[in-house]
């Protein structure tokens, strides 16, 4: 009977439980299938393979027989299914169970050999691509097999179809039911069937566990019993669909993270229909909250948000190997889905799986914005611009050239410099208007200097006005090499520089501080002014605009334009999760439709609009300040030293003059 069941099992598409993400997404039809039978119409069943498969007549043991069944019957099934599909297009009267009958007839023609006996007390395990067959005498042996030592092996094959074959004649029905429920709750093995061939009441029946069906205790989990004849006609009955979970409560971890998971909906988005059902589902807004809400709506499950401190942050792997945070909760299989998008990186762990990547983000280094230039230095920043330096250099050259020309006519060097100084300031001088020099070349030179003064004076005046009315900032850090020279540490749970052969990245990797703290890294940086942080660039720009500005709207933080890494963003589930394949399909549809960009754009615009409105209201209350003497300090810093120097020079000249008179 086991061989017959195996043949029926192989009606299930090959690798149904062991598809990797890429293969699975390629095999999905445009719409999410609701029952397994739709898989029979996928692209991989569109070819007719006219090959003949013959069984070996040297089979001498049970394992070889299973090998023949699991490796060859699926291929026969493919041929028959496709032939049936083509015939049905031409002849609609073909009965439903044609495929099953042909397969059974094919099975009867195979040579039957006597199989060796095996120890009934030993638990035997046979794994193939589609199904995992576990043979044992009593349920206690299965519990022993499912001990923590075999946990990793069990969860890796959790998406397989599991067949439990009991060889004892003294099996209690309740014990089998408890075992099936245990395998679902402990390892989330989705598709479970049990065979009890030596118990007369159940020798022609299959026990199938249905985890998403409500029972009499108002909880979930039922055992359905099917006869072999029913399964032969409808083999997909033993497969549990995850496209409709019938309100099954899924344990989900999601924590508040600005701006991807927030509690309040911006006012401009309150009329959008897609966000109205969130209070009844995920209770979180932002792209992560919306994605969780839509997945729950499409799969028809209720969200049971996990509580506790461990579920309030991403988590990390410590140096001693300990795993904390929501990452640790996933690995311990205490939650079914972690709904905060995170970087798709290799933690060196095999106890969890990433979902399909929904979008990507650049990771940037954030530092404090450089300080303001002291007021007494602001006036000199006028001449740091290239245009102003060129103007100043041009006047210096004109002064030297004018001094050389005037020297030929007996004019002193001081008078020649004073003459050009007056022209630069737009003031007249007697030597310019009334000159004994009738040289045409000098007149052309003076005229060009006057025109140059008319053009350059407004530029310098505008620069002076800008310096006096606005704050001037020191240059920001714009490269990772400049940042390395500061000696600051970087607080982050992610190290994007690790394992990079570049010397600069190795030095930056040593500056990463992954110690978990209750305070956010950005807040710590603003308070202590002695560290830096890593943040998603898109989120960082929004946070700087809405949260990290002073009362004048000046940013407190600066993003270094040199981004060290770009990461795909994904969610995580426990290894072997039965929901992963369906979640991947839904996320892929979201991505292809551009819904991720639409949702993130909605919340970005909504949050910016809220922040802009608050800034406008605060600016109206504060009002504008008029320009006063305090803002003119830079001019006074030049005027008063000039007065002091002129007084000292005047006193020196008076003393020198009196000394000459006395002599």
**DSSP output for 124-146:** EEEE-SSEEEEEESSHHHHHHHT
Residue recorded with tokens 């909605």: 602
Residue 481, Cα to own-chain centre: how many angstroms?
Answer: 26
Q: How far apart are CA 27 and CA 214, in angstroms?
A: 31
Q: How far apart are CA 117 and CA 6, in angstroms?
A: 19
CA dist 561 → 479, 480, 482, 483 (Å): 7, 9, 12, 11
Number of residues assigned to the chain? 663
Residue 425, Cα to own-chain centre: how many angstroms?
Answer: 59
Beta strands 337-343 and 557-559 are unpaired
Residue 354: which H helix or E strand, with range? strand 352-354
pLDDT reported for residue 650: 86
Are 82 and 48 a contacting pair, CB within 8 Å? yes
For residue 599, the 8-state DSSP code is H
pLDDT reported for residue 105: 47
Which has more pLDDT, 419 or 16? Answer: 419
Angle, CA of 131, 137 and 138, to the nearest 5°: 100
Q: How far apart are CA 183 and CA 345, in angstroms?
A: 30
Which has more pLDDT, 404 or 482? Answer: 482
Nearest to 352 by CA among 322, 323, 327, 316: 327
Are 32 and 256 a contacting pair, CB within 8 Å? no
Confidence grade of residue 587 (pLDDT, cut at 50, 70, 90): very high
Taking the domain 248-361, which CATH number applies? 3.40.190.10
Q: Phi and psi of 431, rounded to 5°? A: -70, -20
254-289 burial: b if 16+ Cβ within 10 Å, else e = bbebebbbbeebbeebeeeeebeebeebbebbbbbb
Q: How far apart are CA 333 and CA 340, in angstroms?
A: 17
Are 301 and 245 a contacting pair, CB within 8 Å? yes
Range in 39-53, 74-88, 316-330, 343-357 the model is least confident about? 39-53
**DSSP output for 499-517:** T--SHHHHHHHTTEE----
Highest average pLDDT, of 31-45, 95-109, 317-331, 440-454, comes from: 317-331
Cis omega (within 30 of 0) for bond into 259: yes
For residue 317, the 8-state DSSP code is B
Helix (H, G, I), strand (E, B) or coil at 109: helix
Are 489 and 511 a contacting pair, CB within 8 Å? yes
Q: Is the pLDDT of residue 54 over 70?
A: no
For residue 496, the 8-state DSSP code is T
Residue range 181-185: mean pLDDT, rounded: 92
pLDDT reported for residue 120: 37
Residue-wise pLDDT for 474-508, tens only, equals 889 999 999 999 889 998 888 899 888 999 999 99
Q: How far apart are CA 163 and CA 64, in angstroms?
A: 18
Residue-wise pLDDT for 203-232, tens only, equals 888 899 999 999 888 899 999 999 888 888
Residue-wise pLDDT for 522-567, tens only, equals 888 888 888 999 999 999 999 999 989 887 778 889 999 999 999 9
Confidence grade of residue 135 (pLDDT, cut at 50, 70, 90): confident
Confidence grade of residue 436 (pLDDT, cut at 50, 70, 90): low
For residue 129, the 8-state DSSP code is S
- What is the C-alpha R_g of the chain? 40
pLDDT reported for residue 81: 38
Are 75 and 49 a contacting pair, CB within 8 Å? yes
Q: How far apart are CA 22 and CA 491, in angstroms?
A: 35
Are 583 and 338 a contacting pair, CB within 8 Å? no
User: How would you classify residue 64: left for phi > 0, otherwise alpha for psi between -120 and 50, otherwise beta?
Assistant: alpha
Which has more pLDDT, 66 or 355? Answer: 355
Nearest to 475 by CA among 386, 370, 367, 366: 370
pLDDT reported for residue 78: 39
The sign of the dihedral angle between the CA atoms of 334, 335, 341, 344 is positive
Measured between its terminal Cα atoms, the distance across the chain in Å is 137
Residue recorded with tokens 């959790």: 158
Residue range 318-323: mean pLDDT, rounded: 85
- Mean of all residue pLDDT scores within the chain: 77
At 221, list the tokens: 């989990």
Are 603 and 287 a contacting pair, CB within 8 Å? yes
What is the percent of the chain where pLDDT is above 90? 32
Residue-wise pLDDT for 444-470, tens only, equals 888 888 888 888 888 888 877 777 777
Residue recorded with tokens 């309740």: 174
pLDDT reported for residue 71: 43
Q: Is the pLDDT of residue 25 over 50?
A: no
């Amino acid at each position: 009977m086991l061989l017959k069941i195996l043949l029926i099992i192989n009606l299930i598409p090959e690798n149904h439980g062991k598809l990797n993400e890429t293969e699975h997404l390629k095999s999905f039809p445009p719409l999410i299938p609701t029952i397994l039978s739709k898989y029979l119409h996928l692209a991989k069943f569109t070819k007719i393979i006219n090959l003949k498969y013959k069984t070996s007549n040297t089979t001498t043991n049970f394992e070889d027989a299973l090998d023949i069944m699991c490796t060859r019957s699926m291929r026969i099934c493919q041929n028959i299914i496709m032939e049936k599909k083509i015939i049905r297009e031409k002849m609609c009267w073909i009965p439903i169970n044609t495929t099953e009958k042909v397969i059974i007839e094919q099975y009867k023609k195979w040579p039957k050999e006597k199989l060796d006996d095996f120890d009934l007390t030993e638990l035997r395990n046979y794994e193939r691509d589609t199904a995992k067959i576990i043979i044992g005498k009593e349920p206690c042996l299965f519990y022993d097999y499912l001990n923590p030592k075999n946990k990793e092996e069990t969860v890796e094959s959790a998406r397989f179809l599991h067949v439990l074959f009991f060889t004892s004649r003294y099996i209690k029905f309740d014990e089998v039911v408890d075992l099936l429920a245990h395998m679902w709750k402990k390892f989330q093995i989705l598709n479970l069937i049990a065979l009890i061939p030596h118990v007369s009441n159940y020798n022609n029946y299959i026990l199938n566990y249905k985890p998403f069906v409500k029972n009499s205790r108002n909880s979930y989990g039922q055992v359905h019993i099917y006869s072999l004849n029913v399964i032969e006609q409808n083999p997909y009955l033993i497969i549990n669909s995850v496209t409709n979970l019938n309100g099954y409560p899924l344990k989900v971890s999601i924590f508040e993270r600005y701006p991807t998971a927030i509690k309040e909906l911006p006012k401009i988005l309150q009329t959008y229909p897609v966000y109205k059902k969130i209070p009844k589902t995920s209770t979180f807004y932002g792209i992560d909250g919306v994605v969780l809400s839509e997945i729950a709506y499409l799969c028809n499950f209720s969200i049971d948000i996990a509580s506790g401190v461990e579920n309030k942050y991403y988590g990390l792997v410590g140096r001693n190997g300990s795993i904390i945070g929501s990452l640790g909760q996933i690995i311990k299989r205490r939650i079914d889905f972690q709904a905060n998008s995170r970087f798709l990186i290799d933690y060196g762990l095999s106890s969890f799986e990433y979902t399909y990547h929904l979008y990507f983000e650049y990771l940037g280094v954030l530092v404090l914005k450089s300080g303001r230039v002291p007021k007494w230095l602001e006036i000199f920043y006028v001449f740091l611009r290239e245009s102003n330096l060129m103007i100043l250099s041009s006047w210096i050259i004109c002064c030297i050239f004018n001094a050389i020309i005037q020297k030929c006519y007996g004019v002193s060097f001081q008078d020649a410099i004073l003459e050009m100084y007056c022209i630069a300031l737009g003031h007249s001088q007697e030597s310019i208007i009334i000159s004994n020099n009738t040289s045409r070349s000098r007149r052309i030179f003076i005229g060009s200097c006057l025109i140059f003064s008319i053009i350059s004076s407004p530029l310098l005046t505008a620069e002076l006005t800008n310096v006096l009315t606005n704050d001037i900032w020191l240059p920001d850090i714009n490269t990772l090499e400049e940042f390395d020279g500061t000696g600051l540490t970087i607080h982050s749970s992610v190290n994007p520089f690790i394992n990079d052969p570049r010397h600069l990245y190795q030095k930056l990797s040593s500056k990463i501080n992954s110690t978990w703290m209750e305070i956010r890294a950005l807040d710590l940086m603003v308070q202590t002014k002695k560290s830096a942080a890593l943040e998603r660039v898109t989120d960082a720009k929004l946070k700087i605009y809405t949260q990290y500005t002073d009362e004048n709207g000046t940013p407190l933080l600066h993003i270094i334009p040199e981004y060290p890494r770009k990461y795909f963003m994904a969610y995580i589930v426990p290894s072997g999760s039965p929901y992963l394949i369906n979640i991947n399909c839904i996320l892929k549809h979201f991505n292809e439709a551009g819904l991720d960009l639409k949702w993130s754009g909605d919340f970005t615009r909504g949050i910016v609009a809220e922040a802009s409105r608050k800034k406008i209201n605060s600016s109206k209350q504060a009002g504008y300040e008029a320009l006063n003497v305090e803002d003119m300090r830079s001019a006074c810093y030049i005027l008063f030293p000039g007065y002091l120097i002129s007084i000292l020079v005047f006193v020196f000249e008076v003393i020198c003059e009196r000394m000459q008179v006395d002599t």
